[in-house]
Amino acid sequence: MSHSVTETEKLDNTTLGFWLYLMTDIMIFASLFATYLVLVNATAGGPSASDIYSADFALLQTVILLTSSFTCGVSALLLRRGKKTASMWLLLATVVLGAAFLALEVFEFSTLVSEGHTWQTSAFLSAFFTLVGTHGLHISVGLIWAITLLVYMYRTRIGSDMVRKMMLFALFWHFLDIIWIFIFTIVYLMGVAS
Amino acid sequence: MELLSGLLGRMSLDYLPTEPATIGAAVGMPLGALGVAAALTYFKKWGWLWNNWLTSLDAKKIGVMYIVVALIMLFRGLFDALMLRLQTAVAVNGASGPFDTDTFQQVFTAHGTIMIFFVAMGLMFGLINVVMPLMIGARDMAFPWLNSVSFWLFVAGMILNNVALIFGGFSPGGWLGYPPLTGLEYNPGPGVDYWIWSLQIAGLGSLFSGINFIVTILKKRAQGMTLMKMPIFPWSVLVTSVLIALAFPILTATLALLSLDRLMGMHFFTSDMGGNPMMYINLIWAWGHPEVYILVLPAFGIFSEVVPTFARKALFGYKTMVAALVAIMFFSFIVWQHHFFTMGAGANVNAFFGIMTMIIAIPTGVKIFNWLFTMYKGKIWFTAPMVWFLAFVVTFTLGGVTGVMMAVPALDFQVHNSLFLVAHFHNTIIGGVVFGFLAGITYWFPKVFGFRLYDAMGRWSAYLWQIGFILAFMPLYILGLMGAVRRLDHYSDPTWQPFFIVSGIGVLVILAGTTMLVAQVAYSIWKRKELVDTNGDPWDGRTIEWSVPSPAPHFNFASTLKVTQRDDWWYKKQAGKHLTPPPPSAYKDVWLPKNSASGLLVGAGAGMFGFAAIWHMWWLLVVALVFVVAVVIRRTYDTNSEFMIPAKELMQEDLLVYKRRNA
Amino acid sequence: MSRSLAHELGRYSTGFITALVLSVAAYQLVVSGWVTSGGWLAFILLVLAAAQMIVQVAFFLHLRSEQKPRWQTYSYAFTWLMLLVIIIGSIWIMRNLDYNMHIAPEQVNDYMLKQAQKGF
């Protein structure tokens, strides 16, 4: 393949493009964080932040997601070194950990709803469900992406294209962990402390 | 029956239009579309349209399609304006005027939304697509397929906006749709949802465009073109794209929150359960203020190319121009509160944002002086783009001055939400944005089509627009000071009527100017043999897009380009270097993207998704989503999406160009 | 790719462990109740979060080793600047609005007089 756009150039452009997409995503989360912070006390007689959060639960989620971020990073690292099988195992671990994280979040949401604290209860809960839920939605997209990537890796021989696809996924997954640090801190820890 | 309501969501025949003006439009629009389709069939042009345009990934063609859509929408927006002024010219005291209040509200909402999102943004993206890659020496955008997706999302948003007219009605909430009026409680119908999804989908397209433009400019410039040797238009596009990338997500989030209020009964912006409508206003303007700079900066960029070319002088103060752009990139994000000085914030907040607003006028002023100094002692050639520029200086400066007036919170309390404000922002948007883009279209038209526009008619169009503008908006300043608020459909003070009538006449004159523009294109096509651009450089231009033949080929540049300075092409011509072809080693095989229908399919899927969300047709929502995801995945794994033009072919073609140039 | 695999794995592990420590530290701080002042607690928590963000960016996202011109680093910094502007600006504006809008109508006159006495 002697494309005028060389493979490295393509990798460069795609990485920067995807990076900029992540920047736009940061601004989406910025808007949601701003909304949450403005509405956090607007409980309208419903439960307040300290009533519904558990720091232990949030820490468990944090550790799981952080670990998945680590396995994902190492997976990408190994693929760059040509170790496809090991890389796939670690990516699988990432998927399992991510799914566990998501399951915990679904559990948390369903518990809240079953207690009658839905997103219709108050502006505060609307903001909470939307902010945390948007992160969860990103995690779900990431999981689907990782699974298609696994299928692709299983079927195809290793090449620069595969490394590029893996690198983009790793960027996305690390990015989600960084967003989570702030959800952990601003929503959960500060909520418990308030 | 249950099945039917499952299939059709909340659709019912009650949503068909009942009001005569709307029925007219609702019947006229499909008939017009049908007429075009019939003509295409009769002249057997479907294949041509599909292969040469709709599926093309060539940025220049995508740009032309943007501009065509935007110009059609310009007429729709102008007719809306005409309806508004017809109403206010008549509806005084007992007279009711031709439109009822609800229709009037929908019309001003549609006017604002269409003019900003589908005219100004459309013309902007169109021009950027047409010339930005050419000006930086690139073959195409960094992501040509994403570019096509952006365009079709723009079209999908535009179609949703217009479908509202036929079925369901549009939002009555104004172009920014403030809640609680646009909340579920006061507007449960589909109108607001049409507005939300039309903007949401088009906005997503804009976001992708922004990312695409940034990467293109940062990564695909010609060899030797450092950022400080890049022409100002690409610079303005870079800054605008940064603003798009950081501001449009705020719009996406805000509209999503409003939509969650409406679809899931959340309480972000409701007036009960702790919701705070003021937060919506805060967020929407955090996007809205950068947005006005997103629109106007590329227009500034265009004038920075037009003025040096027609004054035959290098741009005065290139570095201050760049500095002004970068300053605006930062400051445009810290002035948004001036849109709601009167909402109740204290003196500290108002003073801070008022001062910031005055500061941001400085870089803009710097630019105006730079252009004027560029003209000073130049040999000015008064072509149509230059007339647009002069009209811009007068109109835009006036708009800027009234803007600084309103930056004073105390004064703003008097004129806030009045027609004074309406006149102010039309001053900046018509005088700045529209005049700029029309100048740009005239200036770069030969590069795309290979012949010039007939200049006299272009000048006449500019004169008509300028006169029409003065007639339409100067009375609004006066009315605003007399106390007339915006969005007024009926008033009782008969002394206002003459001003409203004059303003209505102004709209008619602007309409005449726009018609003149279309007539100019038609006449120029007819006379294209006389107006033909033989050497690709009809204005004796300065920047490298004039070094390629007109119409510019798909690959833009035959050989690998080397740039050594600003206005590279001009200095090459001065040194006579433009007559000797480059050595054979400068020609390399070129890979270009093949045509692809998948961008169009993504747009169609997104449009379906929006339509389903508006009418609560949940099955269609899922189908559309799966469809879009499938198209995207298929495209991602498509390895055979490019074709090659061999170096030899490029060289032969290029040698012919040099031969013509030497003759 | 001059560095050895072990070296890179070491870097990842360092980042991972540091991030873990920072998370647990923040958690402990809240649970133990050592810091009694709400304002200080919030400040320390935010500092810990920022530190963890920087650790992850450096060790996981490799922004430190980006080649020149460092567009990713610049865009990241500028995005953060704008993010802070939007969030802090929104909170400032909305707090101000809340404060001013929560006055009962009969108190407005009083309030305006007081403001006038303060002057600008």
Both structure tokens of B292? 């006005």
Is residue B414 over pLDDT 70? Answer: yes
Per-residue model confidence (pLDDT) at position A2:
40
Q: Are residues C77 and C56 in the same domain?
A: no
- Confidence class for position C113, pLDDT limits 50, 70, 90: confident
> Which residues have CB under 8 Å from B618's CB, separation 6+?
B9, B612
- The two counts, helices (H) then strands (E), for chain C are 4, 0
What is the 3 state secondary structure string of A83-99?
CHHHHHHHHHHHHHHHH
Mean pLDDT rounded to a whole number for chain B: 94
Both structure tokens of A24? 């736009």
Is residue C108 over pLDDT 70? Answer: no
In A, minimum Cα distance to C77 occurs at: A23
Contacts of B286 in chain C (CB under 8 A): 86, 89-90
Both structure tokens of B355? 């001062």
> Which residues have CB under 8 Å from A172's CB, separation 6+?
A18, A22, A142, A145
- Among the listed ranges A1-15, B59-73, C52-66, which one has the minimum average pLDDT value? A1-15
Assess whether the previous peptide bond of B180 is cis (omega < 30° from 0): yes
Contacts of B554 in chain A (CB under 8 A): none
* Single-letter amino acid, residue B533: D
Query: Terminus-to-terminus CA distance in chain B, angstroms?
Result: 77
Of residues B143, B219, B274, nearest to A39 (C-beta)? B274
Residue of B228, B132, B215, B219 whose CA lies nearest to B564:
B228
Q: Do B337 and C86 touch (CB under 8 A)?
A: no
> To 10 degrees, what angle do helices B497-526 and B59-90 make?
150
CA distance C100 to chain B (A): 6
Is residue B427 over pLDDT 80? Answer: yes
Interface contact C97, partner A, CB < 8 A: no
Lookup result for tokens 């029956």: B1
- Give the mutation candidate from A3, A4, A151 for the B interface (greatest B CB count, under 10 A): A4
Per-residue model confidence (pLDDT) at position C1:
46
Per-residue model confidence (pLDDT) at position B602:
97
Q: Do A28 and B275 touch (CB under 8 A)?
A: no
Is residue B663 over pLDDT 50? Answer: yes
Both structure tokens of A45? 């007689």
Count of A-B CB contacts under 8 Å = 117
Grouping H, G, I as helix, E, B as strand and the rest as coil, residue B591 is: strand
Query: How many structural domains does chain C have?
Result: 2
Q: Is A51 exposed, middle or buried (0-12, 13-18, 19+ CB in 10 A)?
A: exposed
Q: Do B351 and C120 touch (CB under 8 A)?
A: yes
B590, β-bridge pairs: B645
Q: Are residues C79 and C117 in the same domain?
A: yes
Q: Are residues C104 and C52 in the same domain?
A: no
- Give the mutation candidate from B140, B214, B217, B273 for the A interface (greatest A CB count, under 10 A): B273
Among candidate residues C23, C43, C65, the one where a domain is terminated: C65
Q: Are residues C10 and C52 in the same domain?
A: yes
Of residues B218, B337, B347, nearest to C93 (C-beta)? B337
Both structure tokens of B107? 């019309």
Interface contact B594, partner A, CB < 8 A: no
Q: Are residues C34 and C81 in the same domain?
A: no
Residue of A27, A156, A85 whose CA lies nearest to B254:
A27
CA distance C117 to chain A (A): 30
Count of B-C CB contacts under 8 Å = 46
Please name the chains neighbouring B, where neighbouring means 3+ C-beta pairs under 8 angstroms.
A, C
CA distance C35 to chain B (A): 30
Indicate whether this complex's ipTM tops 0.85: yes
Among candidate residues C47, C65, C83, the one where a domain is terminated: C65
Alpha helices in B450-492 (DSSP H): 455-482
Contacts of C82 in chain A (CB under 8 A): 27, 30
Compute the distance between CA of residue C111 and CA of residue B332 in angstroms, rounded to an integer. Answer: 33
- Confidence class for position A111, pLDDT limits 50, 70, 90: very high
Alpha helices in B220-273 (DSSP H): 232-264
Residue B118 per-residue DSSP state: I
Per-residue model confidence (pLDDT) at position C33:
83
Both structure tokens of B555? 């690959």
Q: Are residues C5 and C48 in the same domain?
A: yes
Per-residue model confidence (pLDDT) at position B7:
84
Q: Do C90 and B333 touch (CB under 8 A)?
A: no
Mean pLDDT of B480-489: 93
Contacts of A121 in chain B (CB under 8 A): 273
Mean pLDDT rounded to a whole number for chain C: 86
Grouping H, G, I as helix, E, B as strand and the rest as coil, residue B95 is: coil
Structural contact between residues B173 and B196, judged by C-beta atoms closer than 8 angstroms: no
Mean pLDDT of B508-537: 95
Share of chain C above pLDDT 90, in %: 52
Domain span at residue C85? 69-120
Structural contact between residues B319 and B325, judged by C-beta atoms closer than 8 angstroms: no
CA distance A118 to chain B (A): 9
Interface contact B221, partner A, CB < 8 A: no
Interface contact A23, partner B, CB < 8 A: yes
- Among the listed ranges A23-32, A138-147, B452-461, C102-111, which one has the minimum average pLDDT value? C102-111
Q: Do C87 and A73 touch (CB under 8 A)?
A: no
Interface contact A8, partner B, CB < 8 A: no
Mean pLDDT of B171-190: 93
Q: Parse chain B into domains and list their residue ranges.
A: 45-596+641-662
Per-residue model confidence (pLDDT) at position A4:
44
Q: Do C100 and B346 touch (CB under 8 A)?
A: yes
Per-residue model confidence (pLDDT) at position A98:
98
What does the pLDDT look like over B558-607, one tens digit per residue? Answer: 998 899 999 999 999 999 888 888 999 899 999 899 999 999 999 999 99
Tallying the residues shown for chain B, one arrives at: 663
Mean pLDDT of A170-184: 96
In C, minimum Cα distance to B247 occurs at: C82
CATH superfamily of A52-193: Cytochrome c oxidase, subunit III, four-helix bundle (1.20.120.80)
| DSSP secondary structure string for all residues of chain A | ---SS-HHHHHHHHHHHHHHHHHHHHHHHHHHHHHHHHHTT--TTS--HHHH--HHHHHHHHHHHHHHHHHHHHHHHHHHTT-HHHHHHHHHHHHHHHHHHHHHHHHHHHHHHHTT--TTT-HHHHHHHHHHHHHHHHHHHHHHHHHHHHHHHHHS---HHHHHHHHHHHHHHHHHHHHHHHIIIIIIIHHHH-
Q: Are residues C54 and C73 in the same domain?
A: no
Compute the distance between CA of residue A37 and CA of residue A49 in angstroms, rounded to an integer. Answer: 11
Lookup result for tokens 């908006």: B473
Mean pLDDT of B614-635: 94
Q: Do C53 and A27 touch (CB under 8 A)?
A: no
Of residues A30, A175, A178, nearest to C83 (C-beta)? A30
- Give the mutation candidate from B220, B349, B356 for the C interface (greatest C CB count, under 10 A): B349
- Among the listed ranges A68-77, B543-552, C28-37, which one has the minimum average pLDDT value? C28-37
Compute the distance between CA of residue C80 and CA of residue B116 in angstroms, rounded to an integer. Answer: 28
* Single-letter amino acid, residue A71: T
Residue B274 per-residue DSSP state: T
In A, minimum Cα distance to C73 occurs at: A19
**Chain A neighbours among B 142-181 (CB < 8 Å)?**
142-143, 146
Contacts of A127 in chain B (CB under 8 A): 268
> Which residues have CB under 8 Å from B446's CB, separation 6+?
B452, B453, B533, B538, B550
What does the pLDDT look like over C12-21, one tens digit per residue? Answer: 999 999 999 9
Q: Do C82 and A27 touch (CB under 8 A)?
A: yes
Structural contact between residues B309 and B371, judged by C-beta atoms closer than 8 angstroms: no
Q: Are residues C81 and C61 in the same domain?
A: no
Structural contact between residues B430 and B437, judged by C-beta atoms closer than 8 angstroms: no
Compute the distance between CA of residue B599 and CA of residue B585 in angstroms, rounded to an integer. Answer: 36
C-alpha distances (whole Å) from B94 to each of B97, B101, B179, B221, B491 are: 9, 15, 31, 64, 9
Structural contact between residues B36 and B69, judged by C-beta atoms closer than 8 angstroms: no
Compute the distance between CA of residue B70 and CA of residue B117 in angstroms, rounded to an integer. Answer: 9
Within a 10 A sphere around the Cβ of B475, how many other Cβ atoms?
A: 23
Compute the distance between CA of residue C87 and CA of residue B226 in angstroms, rounded to an integer. Answer: 35
Per-residue model confidence (pLDDT) at position C65:
75
Q: Are residues C60 and C80 in the same domain?
A: no
What does the pLDDT look like over B494-517, one tens digit per residue? Answer: 999 999 999 999 999 999 999 999
Containing B644, the helix (H) or strand (E) segment is: strand B642-645
Mean pLDDT of B8-13: 86
C-alpha distances (whole Å) from A160 to each of A80, A81, A82, A163 are: 9, 11, 10, 5
Contacts of A122 in chain B (CB under 8 A): 267, 273-274
Contacts of A20 in chain C (CB under 8 A): 75
Query: Terminus-to-terminus CA distance in chain A, angstroms?
Result: 60
Q: Do B334 and C85 touch (CB under 8 A)?
A: yes
Q: Is B616 exposed, middle or buried (0-12, 13-18, 19+ CB in 10 A)?
A: middle
Is residue A42 over pLDDT 80? Answer: yes
Alpha helices in B46-120 (DSSP H): 46-49, 59-90, 101-113
| Rg of chain B (C-alpha set) | 25
Per-residue model confidence (pLDDT) at position A107:
96
> Which residues have CB under 8 Å from B528's CB, separation 6+?
B449, B450, B451
Q: Which residues of C touch B (CB under 8 A)?
A: 69, 71, 78-79, 82, 85-86, 89-90, 92-94, 96-97, 99-101, 115, 120
Interface contact A35, partner B, CB < 8 A: yes
Both structure tokens of C42? 């919030």
CA distance A194 to chain C (A): 7
Tallying the residues shown for chain A, one arrives at: 194
Compute the distance between CA of residue B610 and CA of residue B608 in angstroms, rounded to an integer. Answer: 5
Is residue C107 over pLDDT 70? Answer: no
Contacts of B218 in chain C (CB under 8 A): 69, 71
Contacts of A182 in chain C (CB under 8 A): 49, 53
What does the pLDDT look like over C41-88, one tens digit per residue? Answer: 999 999 999 999 999 998 888 877 778 788 999 999 999 999 999 999
In degrees to the nearest 10, what's the CA dihedral of B602, B605, B606, B607? Answer: 120
Both structure tokens of B509? 């004159």
Please name the chains neighbouring C, where neighbouring means 3+ C-beta pairs under 8 angstroms.
A, B
Q: Are residues C43 and C77 in the same domain?
A: no
What does the pLDDT look like over B322-380, one tens digit per residue? Answer: 999 999 999 999 999 999 999 988 889 999 999 999 999 999 999 999 999 999 999 99
Is residue A1 over pLDDT 70? Answer: no
Mean pLDDT of C21-49: 92
CATH topology of domain B45-596+641-662: Cytochrome C Oxidase; Chain A (1.20.210)
Torsion angles phi and psi, residue B266, rounded to 5? -75, 175
- Confidence class for position C8, pLDDT limits 50, 70, 90: confident
Per-residue model confidence (pLDDT) at position A65:
97
B92, β-bridge pairs: B491
Q: Do A130 and B257 touch (CB under 8 A)?
A: yes
Compute the distance between CA of residue B59 and CA of residue B592 in angstroms, rounded to an integer. Answer: 11
CA distance C45 to chain A (A): 7
Compute the distance between CA of residue B372 and CA of residue B313 in angstroms, rounded to an integer. Answer: 12
Per-residue model confidence (pLDDT) at position C37:
84
Interface contact A27, partner B, CB < 8 A: yes
Compute the distance between CA of residue B234 and CA of residue B131 in angstroms, rounded to an integer. Answer: 9
